[in-house]
Amino acid sequence: MVLHNRLSATELKQKLAEETFKRVTVSFYQYAKIAAPRAFRDSLYEALFQLGVFGRIYVAHEGINAQVSIPEQHFVAFRQHLDTIPFLKDIRLNVAVDDNGRSFWVLKIKVREKIVADGITDPAFGMDNRGKYVNAEEFNRLTDDPDTVVIDMRNHYEFEVGHFDQALEVPSDTFREQLPMAVDMMKDQKDKNIIMYCTGGIRCEKASAYMLHQGFKNVFHLEGGIIEYTNKAREMGLPNKFKGKNFVFDDRLGERISEEIISQCHQCGEPCDTHTNCANEGCHLLFIQCEKCAAKYNGCCSDACTEVLALPEEQQAELRKGIDKGLMLFNKRKRRRNSASKEDGNKQTE
């Protein structure tokens, strides 16, 4: 069996469009010691391919980080397969809050150095000592206490479209930048209760361990992140303290959590929280664009990119040659396009 995809993106998307069944989008992660990541990766790919699973999964010596789309009729079989893997038995699956069934169109499982690129080089650091989990009910209770500090461990473009009330932003493009920044921000408040959160739990769990490693004492992290919190708050009838949209790293680019729109179109400034990538493949900038500007610029981020998009495909392809976009993000603070390292640009965070 070939353990990777061999069809073109066009063919795969067409096959997805022709599906007549529903899909369920879930995410999960686990910090665990995997002795042979490559062998584990190949075995997992074979099993999930047979179940028609799409998604993006990273495997490393430190564990697994996955976001996948599962045919509804194979969901039980998918769950049963995970249960055959000792460190994934009974793993919590974060079910998407706002799912259109089109989150992924291909299965990719990659072996990485780490499941979250953190930039930590201290050999004494490990994941054995982590912050305490808090569930939705405990989160709401703790955040009513003025001595509690809530820290958002997501990137600036995620925070921009949605976040918890009173949450502190660590303004950066990458998780590796955030860790030392969070320590520095809180260095004079080590006696406070610190709750860290992220999309599905993987970043804030590692961040909580790092804060403890740096000498902090009362560190918590939100179990299952924003996704699990939202599902539990709805299930239990709790007040939902998250405002806006939850950014997700798949083709949906966001889940609607509340009706508030707390961000603006990056081109005209009107209220908007719809992320998109510039239609010019030579740019592919991630930015927020309203419907009017999408029509005006033909899905592009600028007049220059609109002009490029109007060229014949052959000329566009010629212009794209040699371009290394890295991670192209709209960043209001720097007022320029940011190109992070290729490792960060390709990383999966949740």
Residue 110 and residue 40: Cα distance in Å, rounded? 11
- Indicate the burial class of 304 (C-beta count within 10 angstroms; 0-12, 13-18, 19 or more): exposed
What's the token pair of residue 278? 């510039």
Query: Which candidate, 218, 240, 215, places its Cα nearest to that of 229?
Result: 240
Give CA angle at 88 (84, 92), nearest 5°: 125
Whether 272 is a known active-site residue: answer no
**Comparing C-alpha atoms, which of 167, 215, 170, 175 is closest to residue 191?**
215
Cβ-Cβ contacts under 8 Å for 206 (sequence gap 6 or more):
31, 116, 118, 127
Looking at the DSSP bridge assignments, the partners of residue 337 are 330
Q: Which residue in the block uniquely carries the two structure tokens 């055959």?
A: 84
Catalytic residue, candidates 198, 272, 290, 293: 198
Q: Which residues are catalytic?
A: 198
